[in-house]
A and B are shown apart, each in its own frame.
Chain A
Amino acid sequence: MSLKFPVPSTPGPAAFGRAWQVGDLLDLLAGLIALGLIVLVYEGWSGPPRVLLALAFTFFVPGRAIVSNWHQTARWSEVAISMVFSLALLTLVATITLWAHIWHPLGLFQIEAWLSLAVLSIGIVRRAGRRPDIDARQAEPW
């Protein structure tokens, strides 16, 4: 494709620095949600905490894992677009398992949760690898 599209100007270093912090925080939050829900599901506990964690996972975690590794979207929207990706992805996978007659919702959840954790970890590591460069650039006066 050779079509050209306008894109916003590149944000400055302070913007990136702050984005790192927010990104780390959101990744950590997503990881905790996934881990907490895995534990509750594994132990078989039920109740409002599990419902709330399931809600947070459905609306946030898998999409956050994608956005964490996709800087183009992360710079645009950290949370809102994660929500859209999460809902779309979970709906797609759940429906495919129904169509394919392999309906195992809890097994599917385990795969999704561990995969999300893995991808989130990759995102955190990748971001940490770039941080020194960003910090050095931040030191420059603007």
Chain B
Amino acid sequence: MTETDHLGVSDAPVAVTASKPSRSRRSATSGRRVRLRLADLLLPCGIVLWAFGVSTTNATALGPYGLPPVLPTAFWAGVALIAVSAAIELGRDHVSGWRMGLHAVTLAVMLYGTAPLVYSQGRYEWLYKTIGVVQYINANGQLNSQIDIYQNWPGFFALAAWFGKVAGVASPLAYAKWAQLAFELAALPLLYLAFDALSLTTRQRWLAVLLYTGTNWIGQDYFSPQALGTVLSLGIMAITLRWFYVGNSPARGRRGWVRRVRRADRAVPGQTASRARFPALLGFALLLIYFVLSFEHELSPYILAVQLGALAVVGLLRPRWLPLLLAAIAVGYLLPHFGFVNSRYGLLNSVGQFFSNASPPALKSGSLSAAQRLIGRSQEALSLGMWCLAIAGAWLRRRSGRPVLALLLLAFSPFLMLVILAYGQEGVLRVYLFSLPWTAALAALALAPFPAAEGGLKAEGKRKPAQALATALWVPRSESQDADQTVIFHRVAADELGQVAALAAPAADAPAGQAGRRQAGTSGAPPWDDSRIPTAQWSEGNPATAAGGSAQRHRETSPRGLQLTRRGWQTVIWLVLAAVVLIAGIIAAGLLGG
């Protein structure tokens, strides 16, 4: 349990804690009793139901809708219970970091661990192409760049071949089906770090992490270069946003919207932002990781350079030449391989064909079955729904004066790539993939806006109907899949429903800026990020942060136990009803499909 959790469960008056250090320490040590929360019961119940459901699943005969129709009710009840539990926990005044971490991990295991548990082999027919390349390296101990594009971007395959020898397995078939779960779990802490760097509150961070996990239907995370590329990209983003992003510092003479947005993130009065020299060593590490990404995956480095370039153009990234340097690395690696790639895939043919490049792959194929059409439409609806929610979140965040610009640029700049290439008609899928972390963050802002920075109390009151509507929306998460033409059709959305409960929290909150950000970041620090916990004591020693953080600390730490407000109970009722509708809908869809 974290130190912050000690404070969180303490009954000591929090406002006093900020001003009287001695009592603070006493409260920190005496308040070690952990109050049982509803989530502590719902989470294990959900896991048990899910495990029982998986153990009784028979996936030997699948229909056109794939796995979902054969998954028993217990499975769906387990997933729904986790969503309800997460929603209730997110609706509390004090969001427990380790509890939310457990929820995020559990949700990822449920969504991405079910298929490897019920299938004997990995799904997706294209998985076996990558396994073939790994086996080629194992057999020959070298590459042949004339065979295919994989041998020209060999990073992932070299790592996989090395891993296979170290793990003592004859073929990646032994573990490949678990890759999806491993990469999704690996993405969670990196997402949290990136969201933290963007000044999101604890509640928004966790909601964004859950949204990302629940709405990533692309299926890039199988045993493939794109899976490793996504993790490395998130790592690069986390480092960049933490050390090179200047959106949290005072504005420097920018005009209009940009200046207004950036000015809102100034440190609290009296706080002098400490400055550091250019973090040269971190810059070198960043370039090295980017170089690895450049020979690991064909597309990821370019989308990343575009995203960071967009930040640099508006002055949110320093040094501004950093994206140019990154692009030079990627292009420098591409040039020797350009002839091969262009001759095989007609790289130049798609330049300037935006609308053609943006067409989803389903439209390019021939006749589709009703099930495939429904799945395709669901995917499109989910993507568009998330983008619309992101725009709504951007609008709400603009009014609360936070750096919405950075998130907007990160979320929508990947579309620029569609001007240049189609990526085998998968360009739009990759755009969604690279947009998703930031889209999820913006969507989290729509569902859990900043609690009242500047006159926000009034604004929050205005948002309630929009939130209630948004949180009542259920978005389907689907993914077409594997060699047997089976389809898994997830529905996960209840994460966002709990955000109605967030409205029950007191409106008082910390000021914008470094102090508030630090306070927010520490109260819900995840188990993998213990370095940021310290806050209670050191902020007391820092007059600026102590003054600014007391209000938020009160909000984050006031004990509630199992008590729920009237609005909280309304939320629970909403959630239960929505869960019933969700499960009924899925069963109906499965029956219709069968």
Contact = CB atoms under 8 A, between A and B. Distances in A.
Given A90-B162, A91-B159, A98-B158, A19 B531 contact: yes
A94 to B, nearest CB: 4
B285 A54 contact: no
B190 A80 contact: yes
Most buried by B among A51, A84, A109: A84
A83 interface: yes
Nearest to B288: A88
B156 A14 contact: no
Given A7-B274, A9-B542, A50 B159 contact: no
B29 to A, nearest CB: 11
Most buried by B among A22, A45, A90, A91: A91
Contact of A95 (B158, B249, B281, B518): B158
Contacts of A4: 275-278
A77 B169 contact: no
B272 to A, nearest CB: 10
Interface string A111-142: 00000000000000000000000000000011
B167 A15 contact: no
Interface in A68-121: 70, 72-81, 83-85, 87-88, 90-92, 94-95, 97-99, 101, 103, 105-106, 108-109
A1 B280 contact: yes
B330 to A, nearest CB: 15
A5 B320 CA distance: 13
Contacts of A5: 243-244, 246, 275-279, 318
A5 B197 CA distance: 14
Given A9-B514, A58-B163, A94-B158, A78 B528 contact: yes
Contacts of B137: 98, 103
B249 A79 contact: no
Interface string A32-51: 00000100110011110011
A12 B159 CA distance: 40
B22 interface: yes
B183 to A, nearest CB: 10
**Interface residues on chain B, size class:** 35 or more
A4 B278 CA distance: 6
Most buried by A among B166, B175, B249, B538: B166
Contact of B143 (A7, A76, A99): A99
Instruction: Decide if the interface of chain B is mainly helix, strand, loop or mixed.
Output: helix
A106 to B, nearest CB: 6
B514 A8 contact: yes
A84 B533 contact: no
Interface in B271-305: 273-282, 285, 288-289, 291-292, 295-296
A77 B529 contact: yes
Instruction: Decide if the interface of chain A is mainly helix, strand, loop or mixed.
Output: helix
A90 B236 CA distance: 16
A80 to B, nearest CB: 4
Contacts of A142: 21, 537-538, 540-541
A73 B282 contact: yes
Contact of A12 (B242, B318, B532, B541): B541
A8 B518 contact: yes
Interface in B1-31: 3, 21-22
B168 A51 contact: yes
B376 interface: no
B282 A72 contact: yes
Nearest to B285: A85
Contacts of B524: none
A19 B530 contact: yes
B168 A72 contact: no
Interface string B228-249: 1001100110110011101011
Contact of A3 (B143, B165, B319): B319
A88 B538 contact: no
Interface in A46-72: 46-47, 50-51, 54-55, 57-59, 70, 72
A83 B232 CA distance: 9
B189 interface: yes
Interface string B318-344: 110000000000000000000000000
Contacts of A78: 528-531
B296 A57 contact: no
30 contacts: A4-B275, A5-B277, A6-B249, A9-B545, A10-B274, A15-B533, A37-B166, A46-B168, A51-B167, A51-B169, A55-B182, A72-B281, A72-B282, A74-B531, A78-B529, A79-B529, A80-B190, A80-B192, A81-B239, A84-B236, A85-B285, A88-B289, A92-B155, A94-B162, A95-B154, A97-B158, A103-B141, A105-B162, A109-B165, A109-B166
Instruction: Give me the 10 closest cross-chain CB pairs, A-B, nearest first.
Output: A15-B534, A12-B538, A84-B235, A46-B168, A80-B189, A54-B167, A1-B278, A105-B165, A103-B141, A79-B528
